[in-house]
Structure 1
Amino acid sequence: MAGAAAVWPSFTASTGAGLPCPLRALIGVPCPFCGLTTAAIALVRGRAETAFQANPLIFGLAVLAVAVGPLVALRAFGVMSGPRPWSSHRQRRWGQVAVLVAAASWLFQLHRLGVGRPSLRII
């Protein structure tokens, strides 16, 4: 993820290609994950405040990305055993947490981009 965030700005600058949010492009409403590319690039460049302003979810995703690599390596070398299956209750609970996080992120994006706010016009 860090490698992609480091290379992406150069790629978009040289090609003009970008990844628009499909939901925002279709109906003008941002998705809960809008701003994650911008946030990842800002975080890789050491601009934590800019990353937070684009999408605070990036910090949780960064922690997961950093934690997953060593876990996979430790399990691959047999140092740690594989994960145990989750109970249906635990799956349901974490599903609810994921929905709440996505909803909070969506509210943040709607507020950040001013969706639903009347625009001020000076005549």
Structure 2
Amino acid sequence: MTDQTALQYTKDHEWLFVQGDVVTVGITDHAAEQLGDVVYVELPAVGTAATAGDQLGEIESTKSVGELFAPIEGEVVEVNDAVVDAPDTVNHDPFGAGWLVKIKVEGTDFPGDLMDHDAYRAFVA
């Protein structure tokens, strides 16, 4: 499991883990709880351009369909095929095995509205 205090969070309930120029993206436990039992995950192809705010994929649950938005500009360099094969991983381990995509970014232009762990917890409270 990724240390949640080391992550950045979006208002779309996604988390970002920055390692050099690669950002791992997943959905938060709050988002997973709101979705309910995840039954289908659609992720972009490796090489897809990620444009901040644009849809990158889809997460379907027994309750609803949610969209995965690109939180940052870059190129998708890896997708988690394991969650495509076992979508409920997103529910059981959203901060670990349930990660969704890795995006290679150029520069350090991160959106200004990213939140740290404490700010995100206050946001969802």
- For the superposition of Structure 1 and Structure 2, which TM-score range results when normalised by the shorter chain? under 0.3
Pick 1 or 2: higher relative contact order, CA cutoff 8 A, min separation 6: 2
TM-score for both structures, normalised by structure 2 = 0.23
User: Which entry has the higher C-alpha Rg, 1 or 2?
Assistant: 1
TM-score when normalising by structure 1: 0.23
Give the strand-richer structure, 1 or 2. Answer: 2
